[in-house]
Structure 1
Amino acid sequence: MTKIKKFISIILVTLVVLNISSMGVLTNKAFGETTESKKFVITFDPANGQEVKQVKIVKGKKLKEKKVPFSKMKKEGYDFLGWYNGQSNKYEVIFPFQPDQDITLVAKWGKHTPPSPVKKDGYRLIFDEEFNNANGKLDSTLWVDQYLSSWTRTPEFAKPIYKINNGVMNLQVKEDTPGWAPEYDGETRVSGFTTGNRNGLHNWNGTNVVRNPVDTQLTHINQYGYYEIRAKGQAGSSRHSAWWLLGFEDREEHSAEIDIFEILGNQQTAVPRAFHGWKDKDAFAVKDQGETFINAQANFHDEWHTFGMDWQNGTGAGAYPDKLVFYVDGKEVGSKNVNIDYPMIQLFSQYEKRAGGWTGPWEWMPYPNSFDIDYVRVYKKLSNGQKELSKKQLKVVHVEDSMVTVLKGQAALKQYTSSVNGHEGEVYTEPNLPNTKSYVNVTWNDGVITQEFVKWDPITQEDLVKLNNGESITKNGILPNLNKVAGITNPTLQIAVTTPPPPPPYTSENLGVANSQTELAKLFDSNLESNSGEFRFASNQLPNDKEVNIQYNFNKNVTLHSISFTTNFGQDQGIKKFKLAAWDSKTNSWVNHDKEYSIPWTAAGNTEIGETLKVEIDSLETSKIKMIITEVGLRWENKIAMREIAFN
């Protein structure tokens, strides 16, 4: 009897629990919910004649690529580019994908350009990256995993974000990627890697200050040869993917930039290229210039294409003896004569300008944004009839020595002060003198000449004393990138001392942030066709707390009647108004004259050709003159630019 009562009690309790659960379901249903998890329907449209298929995914869960209901996507004459959604199928789905509603994904089709053969007739491959590292990391013997890192306070922000899978470098900018150098580059997000990095490299603003001093790194630097990559860019306004070459600035004028391409996110059928001389005023006929190749049938965002550049020695003309020839998918698409007599490094960069800019207003795109690279190859042309040798057969037959000169009494090493958190105030001293080459030419037994990174023994305090006393010295170097080449001879660096020339008759005060005497010299070289001296200011106005002037010492008494000015774009970036002061040799002081003179630049001279104008002044007899600048044109880049000044 007891067992029967116990059994009945269990049944009653079970019924009560079931009833309560049932009421709970009803209650939830009354409020539009159920205890069952919400599921979204994902419809896949292959857009190739096959039937659509659907999968369901629980709310809050991610759909992995292996769950896509199509394993082998095929369409006659086309390649599968990915799954897309949104208006006009604008957004590419990046797996794993977390939907927030029912959604239809449509396959996009295009035509990939296949990889080129590794072997190239008539050339020797000197640099080859196929991105097949098993550890998924950049090969440190080929690449420097930094992007112009001396400009940032936060070194890790200059490191690339990437994945290497199945032989492809996927260079990424993520939604939470911070601005790499906000003070200098605003809201720009960048992910990049290079073949070289050093302090002060590529001061694109002209006013940037090194804040993260670094040791010089150089894995590959090259002059002349054929470059090729296979890649695809990133869609989306305010974004661009760039492959560019840059002078390594052993000397400040070795700074030219060749943008082999800058694939813009708002131009899927275009491949723009650009050229910037920076401090190299002789690299290009026009300082800043762009060209664009357009293929209306191509999609350079989603399709793989090959891009090449042949840097040819001696095929240019006149003042531009060399030539760059550009290729897309193996077809020549343009060329440019150049005068670049130094080697360059490579840079790969993915950019996103969150504040908008020259690449368009910012728009959201699925993250991560990416620049995909299949391979990077650089070849050197072989002499006619020279057969390609195997690696075992290749030998170095000559290593070039190097030389640099320094003025007696002026030998000094550059120093930089850190602003990196935790290292503020630390002083970094460069190990070598300014203008010392970071590479030497190496000749091989197949006739090819390569440029190889050289690490010179550091300059010591004892060395500086000798140099400043007029004694030349010799330093030794090693070639770290050729340490496995047997029998190689290490180069030497001869540091010669010369006597400083007499000071020039011209000088200036506060003429731009740098107050550069090198730029000032261009105003007095008596060459009306030469490039302008350029002087940048920190803001779009002359400083109001200090005098900006140009002084000229005639070293004898002269009588001045006029001053001639030559420039281009005089209204926009020339000197506009000035006052004068004359030197009084009796009192050894300047005598200021209150009269203000204007330079009447005309619209006709506001061109690349420019004009020369003479300004009549009240006659002055003096041995030195000072021109006090009171008004300038600062329309472009906060700078003034003048070609020539002559006192008459």
Structure 2
Amino acid sequence: MKRISVFTLALICISLVVSTSGCAQALLAPTPTPAPTATPIPPLEGWTLVWHDEFDDAQINRQNWTFDLGGNGWGNGEMQYYTDRPDNARVENGLLVIEARQEKYEGSYYTSARLKSQGLQEFQYGRLEARLKVPEGKGFWPAFWMLGSNFPQAGWPDCGEIDIMEYVGKDPDLIMGTLHGPGYSGALGLSKWNRQTYNIADDFHTYAIEWDKDQITWFYDGSAFHTVTREDVGDRPWAFDQPFFFILNLAVGGTLGGMVSPQTVFPSQYLVDYVRVYEKLP
């Protein structure tokens, strides 16, 4: 009978542990979170700051944010399960970290987080801005967006939706701004792609809208790239004369995110330096 050395037996045991998905996931350490570049709040001519979250507290501020929880695709065929665990959403080094992980959880094979300010911080008109770093990788679909406060009563798309930023990892040089409302939703949404000459995921960028009663204009790093006016929707309802709440989420897969590549790295992080709201001075 051939003998197996203690060293060989140890290697076999380690191999078996690593090949087990649950154990393998347990060995994954969270991705180190970089310290953000200092981002003082500059005065903006013609605007006054009325609300902001700089994520400088030790934990997520529950006076500003709550969570959507669950899986089931979220109407877009998404693959993740949203949780409120620190594994998926936490504050580190002055940043909100939303982390997508590859793990089996409640019937899904990926986890992530979706934060919202619904019922806590809602705004009508102004300049609404965030400084964000999106994750690289095919299958990731991070977004910074808003829904009308009447969403529970009116439903979507009658409540209106403002997508301030959507990024799709399979197209790393593109971001998109979109308006959805009754009669102009889904594939009929009023969208504009903004193509760059570099991978947007390589660094932080600022995303903003300026919104008044008659139009919404989108900005990327301070430059306007898209405007939709009340006249642009024609005889369809303009759903943007009411307060809206923020949503920050990182989806995996889905109709826009696409298939996850074998080369996509997990865990990966969507980083939020700040969210700020300015009001137009009279």
TM-score by length of 1: 0.33
Instruction: Tell me the amino acid that sits aligned with residue 145 of structure 1.
Output: F
Within a 5 Å distance, the mapping from 1:456-535 to structure 2 comes to none
The separation in 2 between residues aligned to 1:125 and 1:377, in whole angstroms, is 7
The separation in 2 between residues aligned to 1:63 and 1:178, in whole angstroms, is 15
Instruction: Tell me the amino acid that sits aligned with residue 62 of structure 2.
Output: S
> Which residue number in structure 2 is paired with residue 362 of structure 1?
260
> Which residue number in structure 2 is paired with residue 123 of structure 1?
47
Deviations 1:218-268 (A, max 9, x none): 111111000111111111212110001101226416511111111111122
Deviations 1:446-494 (A, max 9, x none): xxxxxxxxxxxxxxxxxxxxxxxxxxxxxxxxxxxxxxxxxxxxxxxxx
CA shift in 2, pair 1:269/1:347, >3 Å? same
Q: Would you say 1:249 and 2:166 are equivalent positions?
A: no
Instruction: Tell me the amino acid that sits aligned with residue 219 of structure 2.
Output: Y
CA RMSD of aligned residues (A): 3.6
The separation in 2 between residues aligned to 1:380 and 1:240, in whole angstroms, is 29
The separation in 2 between residues aligned to 1:178 and 1:32, in whole angstroms, is 34
Q: 2:125 aligns with which of 195, 217, 224?
A: 224
Deviations 1:187-241 (A, max 9, x none): 7754110001xxxxxxxxxxxxxxxxxxxxx111111000111111111212110
On the 8 A contact 1:262/1:272 being kept in 2, the answer is yes
CA shift in 2, pair 1:223/1:187, >3 Å? farther
- State the SS of the aligned residue for 2:270: strand
RCO comparison, higher one (Cα < 8 Å, 6+): 2
CA shift in 2, pair 1:373/1:170, >3 Å? same
Within a 5 Å distance, the mapping from 1:306-345 to structure 2 comes to 306-313=206-213, 322-338=214-230, 339=238, 340-345=240-245
Q: Would you say 1:288 and 2:180 are equivalent positions?
A: no
- State the SS of the aligned residue for 1:133: coil
Q: CA deviation at 1:159?
A: 2.7
CA shift in 2, pair 1:344/1:147, >3 Å? farther
The separation in 1 between residues aligned to 2:104 and 2:278, in whole angstroms, is 35
> Which residue number in structure 1 is paired with residue 134 of structure 2?
233
Q: CA deviation at 1:32?
A: 10
> Which residue number in structure 1 is paired with residue 98 of structure 2?
171
The separation in 1 between residues aligned to 2:220 and 2:204, in whole angstroms, is 11
Q: CA deviation at 1:270?
A: 0.9
The separation in 2 between residues aligned to 1:290 and 1:148, in whole angstroms, is 28
> Which residue number in structure 1 is paired with residue 84 of structure 2?
159
> Which residue number in structure 2 is paired with residue 350 of structure 1?
250
CA shift in 2, pair 1:273/1:190, >3 Å? farther
Deviations 1:326-362 (A, max 9, x none): 1111111221114222111110000112xx6432222
- State the SS of the aligned residue for 1:131: coil
- State the SS of the aligned residue for 1:159: coil
The separation in 1 between residues aligned to 2:37 and 2:215, in whole angstroms, is 26
- State the SS of the aligned residue for 1:193: strand
> Which residue number in structure 2 is paired with residue 372 of structure 1?
271
> Which residue number in structure 1 is paired with residue 204 of structure 2?
304
Structure 2 gaps of 5+ residues are 11-26, 75-80, 231-237
The separation in 2 between residues aligned to 1:157 and 1:359, in whole angstroms, is 16
The separation in 2 between residues aligned to 1:168 and 1:362, in whole angstroms, is 26
CA shift in 2, pair 1:292/1:63, >3 Å? closer
CA shift in 2, pair 1:176/1:325, >3 Å? same
On the 8 A contact 2:141/2:252 being kept in 1, the answer is yes
Instruction: Tell me the amino acid that sits aligned with residue 368 of structure 1.
Output: P
Within a 5 Å distance, the mapping from 1:580-619 to structure 2 comes to none
Alignment length (residue pairs)? 238
Q: CA deviation at 1:147?
A: 4.8
Q: CA deviation at 1:115?
A: 3.7
> Which residue number in structure 1 is paired with residue 280 of structure 2?
381
> Which residue number in structure 1 is paired with residue 234 of structure 2?
none
The separation in 2 between residues aligned to 1:121 and 1:148, in whole angstroms, is 42
CA shift in 2, pair 1:260/1:113, >3 Å? farther
Instruction: Tell me the amino acid that sits aligned with residue 63 of structure 2.
Output: T
On the 8 A contact 2:177/2:218 being kept in 1, the answer is no
- State the SS of the aligned residue for 1:301: helix
Instruction: Tell me the amino acid that sits aligned with residue 142 of structure 1.
Output: N
Q: CA deviation at 1:269?
A: 1.3
CA shift in 2, pair 1:346/1:147, >3 Å? farther
> Which residue number in structure 1 is paired with residue 13 of structure 2?
none
CA shift in 2, pair 1:63/1:190, >3 Å? closer
Deviations 1:48-70 (A, max 9, x none): xxxxxxxxxxxxxx999xxxxxx
Deviations 1:517-557 (A, max 9, x none): xxxxxxxxxxxxxxxxxxxxxxxxxxxxxxxxxxxxxxxxx
Q: CA deviation at 1:146?
A: 3.1
Q: 1:264 aligns with which of 165, 168, 177?
A: 168
The separation in 2 between residues aligned to 1:368 and 1:258, in whole angstroms, is 28
On the 8 A contact 1:231/1:305 being kept in 2, the answer is yes
> Which residue number in structure 1 is paired with residue 61 of structure 2?
139
CA shift in 2, pair 1:363/1:129, >3 Å? same
- State the SS of the aligned residue for 2:122: coil
Instruction: Tell me the amino acid that sits aligned with residue 258 of structure 2.
Output: G
On the 8 A contact 2:98/2:112 being kept in 1, the answer is no
The separation in 1 between residues aligned to 2:67 and 2:31, in whole angstroms, is 25
The separation in 2 between residues aligned to 1:347 and 1:128, in whole angstroms, is 14
Instruction: Tell me the amino acid that sits aligned with residue 379 of structure 1.
Output: Y
The separation in 2 between residues aligned to 1:270 and 1:224, in whole angstroms, is 26
CA shift in 2, pair 1:115/1:306, >3 Å? farther
On the 8 A contact 1:114/1:304 being kept in 2, the answer is no
Deviations 1:395-421 (A, max 9, x none): xxxxxxxxxxxxxxxxxxxxxxxxxxx
Q: CA deviation at 1:302?
A: 2.4
On the 8 A contact 1:270/1:292 being kept in 2, the answer is yes
The separation in 2 between residues aligned to 1:157 and 1:263, in whole angstroms, is 18
Q: Percent identity?
A: 21
CA shift in 2, pair 1:290/1:189, >3 Å? farther
CA shift in 2, pair 1:113/1:288, >3 Å? farther
Larger Rg: 1
Deviations 1:271-312 (A, max 9, x none): 1122222xx34x78x942321101113x22121111111112
Instruction: Tell me the amino acid that sits aligned with residue 138 of structure 1.
Output: I
The separation in 2 between residues aligned to 1:293 and 1:306, in whole angstroms, is 13
